[in-house]
Chain A
Amino acid sequence: MVSSSPAGARWLPKLVVAPSFVLSFLFIYGLIAWNGYLSLSASRLLPNYEFVGLEQYVRLFDNERFHVALVNMGIFGTLFIGGSMALGLLLAILLDQKIRAEGLLRTIYLYPMAISFIVTGTAWKWILNPGLGLEHLVQQWGFENFSFGWLVDPEMAIYCVAIAGVWQSAGFVMALFLAGLRGIDDSIIKAAQVDGASLPLIYWRIVIPTLRPVFFSTLMVVSHLAIKSFDLVMALTAGGPGFATDLPATFMYAMAFSRGQIGLGAASATVMLATVAAIVVPYLYSELRAKR
């Protein structure tokens, strides 16, 4: 850091960052407060600033559709977080075995992350299409009784969302773990090998435990992605059949922008914010602490 400077240099930096800082604080905290107030108001089709206390939250938690969204969040969140973490770690370990084509494989595993969830949702919708897609393919292979109608089955459609979600994000988790693995000193592994430990044992006992910080931050990022998930559901099922694949994010969108329930939408957004904050704030706090 540079201190003690000529007179003008004292206020100039502050002046330069002020507009964008004011703008982002208004955007972040100003709008959070505004949304918070909307969630306590009688707003329906139009914003209405009459204060009604927690009425919208009571309505929200009485709402069957929101319950479906929360249950789906649980199912999707568990599978998405668990699936992409497990698969990402596995891929990173496999790639860490001095593979000749590592660069190419890494590119293949990670490319889904470069494209929009809307694109991948559209693609998966076609693959999982009952009738013409995967079902048709397996039937042609001779399994004529095979049926795969998950995408249009209210009970199973959320699992389709999880499959596509894991496909999209596993490579990202792999990249984070691979970066962590590359930071581990090779000599530790060599020493354990000399002692006769098998490779799986070395990973289980030595490598994975040393990855704990990476594990933790990856978990944070993936969970906040899960809570914010919106595009994938919109492209794959649009929340359907009925509202069987609603997540809090799609519920919020439906209430606020097509059902004319602004207060309810604002309340559900606040619930999402609280959930993300509960995960992210302690994480940011410890990250910034550690830096000092």
Chain B
Amino acid sequence: MSRHAMQRALLWALLLLFAAWFLTPLYVMLTTSLKDMDQVRAGSLLSLPTSPSLEAWARAWSSACTGTDCGGLKPFFMNSVLMVVPAVLVSTAIGSVNGYVLSKWRFRGSETMFALMLFGVFMPMQVVLLPMSQVLGWLGIASSIWGLILVHVVAGIPSTTLFFRNYYVGLPDELIKAAMLDGAGFWKIFTRIVLPLSTPILVVTLIWQFTNIWNDFLYGVVFSGADSKPVTVGLNNLANTSSSVKEYNVDMAAALIAALPTLFVYVVAGKYFVRGLTAGAVKG
């Protein structure tokens, strides 16, 4: 083999080795969820299910115990859906208007306000947990889905504002000026010119917010009540419910159920997901 061919072989070996390492947990989750407990105990971590069945999935969805309650993940999943839809839409809408003002209608002090707001993207949320739970209590929405929606919207505004502001800075000012000469006002320019040009950043922000809010655990575990726990909290309770027999197949099915929505979005629109990640990290 030539030197070049050996290098390519080594390169591919490394790439495939890492791919295997990254895929192993997914593979283990999937195969374990299709086994029954006898196979889980008798077989090994990597063995394929001998007679695949969806029974563990059915149990995880509708009858597995989370703490003392045995209704499966379904109610938690529904809570997450009820929470994520309004929270994503509202925080994205606010971010879009904020970004529009911060890039095209700047006023004295708006840059400073933007800078102060950026800290909210990085702030450790532990710092707001205690006071926030009191505020939610005063507002009468503690332990409810509404409380969770409010927290996610407020916590999301800094990132959504940042995304839209950075995108709108790149739209030519001449476009806005020309519209103003034609007599268009603040809202007309926004709805007729800016919004129609916003599709790429809208998709990025929607995906970013959806992933973050769906995957959130901290707010869910702190601010939700018995009837408003999101799916991450449900999964954690399910996996940590101590019973005499630990059902790993049900745990893995539950983990996959909790992961499916974001995995689906990632597979369908991975490009936009990556853009959100990089935009959130490096202030483009």
User: What class of interface size applies to chain B in its complex with A?
Assistant: 35 or more
Query: Is A24 in contact with B117, judged by CB distance below 8 angstroms?
Result: yes
Query: Is A276 in contact with B173, judged by CB distance below 8 angstroms?
Result: no
Q: Which residue of B lies closest to A123 (CB)?
A: B25
Contact status of A116 and B283, CB under 8 A, knowing A8-B185, A14-B107, A256-B130? no
What CA separation (Å) do A119 and B231 show in the bound complex?
10
* Minimum distance in angstroms from B21 CB to a CB of chain A: 7
Q: Which residue of B lies closest to A10 (CB)?
A: B107
Query: Is A228 in contact with B125, judged by CB distance below 8 angstroms?
Result: yes
Query: Is B44 in contact with A116, judged by CB distance below 8 angstroms?
Result: no
* Minimum distance in angstroms from B283 CB to a CB of chain A: 5
What CA separation (Å) do A262 and B256 show in the bound complex?
35
Q: Which residue of A lies closest to B95 (CB)?
A: A20
Query: Is B119 in contact with A108, judged by CB distance below 8 angstroms?
Result: no
Enumerate B113-147 residues with CB–CB distance to A below 8 Å: 113, 115-120, 122-132, 134-135
Query: Is A24 in contact with B123, judged by CB distance below 8 angstroms?
Result: no
Residues in chain A near residue B23, CB distance under 8 A: 108
Q: Which residue of A lies closest to B7 (CB)?
A: A199
User: Is A85 an interface residue, CB under 8 A from the partner?
Assistant: no
Enumerate A193-240 residues with CB–CB distance to B below 8 Å: 214, 217-218, 221, 224, 227-228, 230-231, 234-235, 238
Query: Is A114 in contact with B176, judged by CB distance below 8 angstroms?
Result: no
Number of interface residues of A (CB under 8 A): 98
* Minimum distance in angstroms from B165 CB to a CB of chain A: 11
Contact residue among B101, B123, B255 (Cβ-Cβ distance under 8 Å from A119) = B255
* Minimum distance in angstroms from B90 CB to a CB of chain A: 10
User: Is B235 an interface residue, CB under 8 A from the partner?
Assistant: yes
Query: Is A276 in contact with B232, judged by CB distance below 8 angstroms?
Result: no
Query: Is B282 in contact with A214, judged by CB distance below 8 angstroms?
Result: yes
Residues in chain B near residue A12, CB distance under 8 A: 185-186
Query: Is A94 in contact with B14, judged by CB distance below 8 angstroms?
Result: yes
Enumerate A248-273 residues with CB–CB distance to B below 8 Å: 248-249, 252-253, 256-257, 262, 265-266, 268-270, 272-273
Enumerate A268-292 residues with CB–CB distance to B below 8 Å: 268-270, 272-273, 276-277, 280-281, 284, 287-288
| Segment from B63-71, B81-89, B196-204, B213-221 that makes contact with A | B213-221
* Minimum distance in angstroms from B233 CB to a CB of chain A: 8
* Minimum distance in angstroms from A232 CB to a CB of chain B: 9
Contact residue among B97, B222, B266 (Cβ-Cβ distance under 8 Å from A114) = B266
Q: Which residue of A lies closest to B108 (CB)?
A: A14
User: Is B79 an interface residue, CB under 8 A from the partner?
Assistant: no
What CA separation (Å) do A95 and B18 show in the bound complex?
11
Query: Is B19 in contact with A28, judged by CB distance below 8 angstroms?
Result: no
What CA separation (Å) do A129 and B25 show in the bound complex?
13
User: Is A31 an interface residue, CB under 8 A from the partner?
Assistant: yes
Contact residue among B25, B125, B185 (Cβ-Cβ distance under 8 Å from A167) = B25
Contact status of A221 and B281, CB under 8 A, knowing A1-B173, A116-B215, A288-B115? yes
User: Is B149 an interface residue, CB under 8 A from the partner?
Assistant: no
Contact status of A110 and B270, CB under 8 A, knowing A133-B45, A137-B44? yes
Interface residues of B (CB under 8 A from A): 11, 14-15, 18-19, 21-26, 28-29, 32, 40-41, 44-46, 94, 97-98, 101-107, 113, 115-120, 122-132, 134-135, 154-155, 157-158, 161, 173, 176-177, 180, 185-186, 211, 214-218, 221-222, 232, 235-236, 239-240, 248, 251-252, 254-256, 258-259, 262-263, 265-267, 270, 273-274, 277-278, 281-283
Interface residues of A (CB under 8 A from B): 1-2, 5-6, 8-9, 12-14, 16-17, 20-21, 23-25, 27-32, 34-35, 38, 47, 91, 94-95, 97, 99, 105, 107-120, 122-127, 129, 132-134, 136-137, 140, 167, 171-172, 175-176, 179, 214, 217-218, 221, 224, 227-228, 230-231, 234-235, 238, 248-249, 252-253, 256-257, 262, 265-266, 268-270, 272-273, 276-277, 280-281, 284, 287-288
27 A–B pairs (Cβ distance < 8 Å), ordered by A: A1-B173, A2-B104, A2-B180, A12-B186, A13-B186, A27-B128, A47-B130, A94-B14, A107-B270, A110-B274, A114-B265, A114-B266, A116-B216, A116-B259, A118-B258, A126-B29, A126-B252, A129-B248, A175-B274, A175-B278, A176-B282, A252-B126, A253-B218, A256-B129, A273-B124, A273-B127, A284-B118
Other than the given A13-B101, A21-B113, 11 more pairs (CB < 8 A) read: A9-B185, A31-B128, A31-B135, A95-B15, A110-B274, A111-B266, A132-B248, A231-B232, A234-B221, A253-B126, A272-B124
